[in-house]
Structure 1
Amino acid sequence: MPPMRAKMRITSIEYYPTAGTPTQETLKFHAVSQDGPYQSDGSDEDNTFAKFSPIGSLSLTVANPELLGKYKTGDTFYLDFTPIGPPT
């Protein structure tokens, strides 16, 4: 299987509990895209990712106290899919 890589951007963060000090946060990711047209020469890397993975979303809840508050809306990440072995 060839490797797969997605480029995802945090579009929102929800904090829990909603009152008091948060102990968890849910990061909502969407595949990169752009409002309006991309450069016609294809030089924008987001254009390449959007062409082959135009739609995608991911929701990830973080409960590790060391990571809370470290992520911000607009942060962008590569998401690599690495097989761990044959299906059981």
Structure 2
Amino acid sequence: MAAMRAKMRLNHIDKRHNGQETLYFNPVSASKYPADGSDENNTYSRFSPSGMLSLTVVNPALIGTFAEGEEFYLDFTKAN
């Protein structure tokens, strides 16, 4: 299985009254990519331009450390 890297943008943070946060991510994509594949988003988004990821954070050390609009790499590597 080939490794895959997606660049994800944090679009929304749902802050819960119990201190939890749910983070909602969508892939970064462009409306057009260069033919030579030089755009870093090209490896994922050119072929799979849609998706959604949500993560609920309960670790007190991580609460409040994420901001809407930030971008992150999400690497997929098969676990053995």
TM range (shorter): 0.7 to 0.9
| Equivalence map 1:7-86=2 (5 Å) | 7-17=7-17, 23-34=19-30, 37-38=31-32, 40=34, 43-46=38-41, 48=42, 49-85=44-80
Using the size of structure 1 for normalisation, the TM-score is 0.76
Whether the 8 Å CA contact 2:29–2:46 is kept in 1: the answer is no
More helix by share: 1
Structure 1 segments unaligned to the other structure (5+ residues): none
- Aligned-partner SS, 1:52: coil
Using the size of structure 2 for normalisation, the TM-score is 0.82
4+ residue runs of structure 1 moved beyond 2 angstroms? 37-46
Larger Rg: 1
CA RMSD of aligned residues (A): 1.8
Aligned length: 78
Structure 2 segments unaligned to the other structure (5+ residues): none
